[in-house]
Amino acid sequence: MKHKIYLIAAADPKNGIGIKGKLPWQLKGDMKFFQETTIKTDNANKRNMVVMGRTTWESIPEKHRPLIGRKNVVLSRNKNLKIEGTDVVNSIKDIIKIAEEDERIENIFVIGGAKVYEQFIKLRELTGIYLTRIQKEFKCDAFFPKIPPKLKPEKLNKGEEEGIKYEFILYKQK
């Protein structure tokens, strides 16, 4: 496996990540971090892949779909789902195959939702998790899975908007 695989998410203190298919908060600093992290490559001739479930795809405003500068892949159980300009697959194996066959792909970023995170967090090949830890509780109905103990946190930065504090953390194997 030549690609690094990261999960990227924002979660409140109870690991809440969403409510009714939407983000429970609007934090420009977190969105900027997400965009920069998922677009940035070490090799200027490469691009990253973003992987998401159908609900996450639908939660992205239409004018921002597909996410520019990245290869977009939607993971869905629906074998008949077609999305213009985006690959739709039914398994993690299919995602890895697309990445392996496209020599332009540098990293794979899993961007949600909860069910997709649960599948990927179990992968032996998981490189790390970029987590924006929001330090305020929100009403949520979707949750980020428990982070494996083999992954250790490294604080990258922090921010605050409208009285909401948050930290950017990278969990990776030491």
Planar angle of CA 31, 32, 35, nearest 5 degrees: 85
Please state whether the predicted TM-score (pTM) of the whole model is above 0.75.
yes
Q: Which of 136, 174, 133, 135 is nearest to 152 (CA)?
A: 174
Which DSSP letter does residue 147 get? P
Range of the domain at 151: 4-173
For residues 26 and 24, what is the distance between their CA atoms, to the nearest angstrom?
7
- Count of structural domains within the chain: 1
CATH code of the domain in which 85 resides:
3.40.430.10
Indicate the residue type of 26. Q
CB neighbours of residue 137 within 10 Å? 11
pLDDT tens digit at each of 174 positions of the chain: 689 999 999 999 999 999 999 999 999 999 999 999 999 999 999 999 999 999 999 999 999 999 999 999 999 999 999 999 899 999 999 999 999 999 999 999 999 999 999 999 999 999 999 999 999 999 999 999 999 999 999 999 999 999 999 999 999 987
DSSP string of 97-125, one letter each residue: HHHHH-TTEEEEEEEE-HHHHHHHHT-TT
Strand partners of residue 10: 132
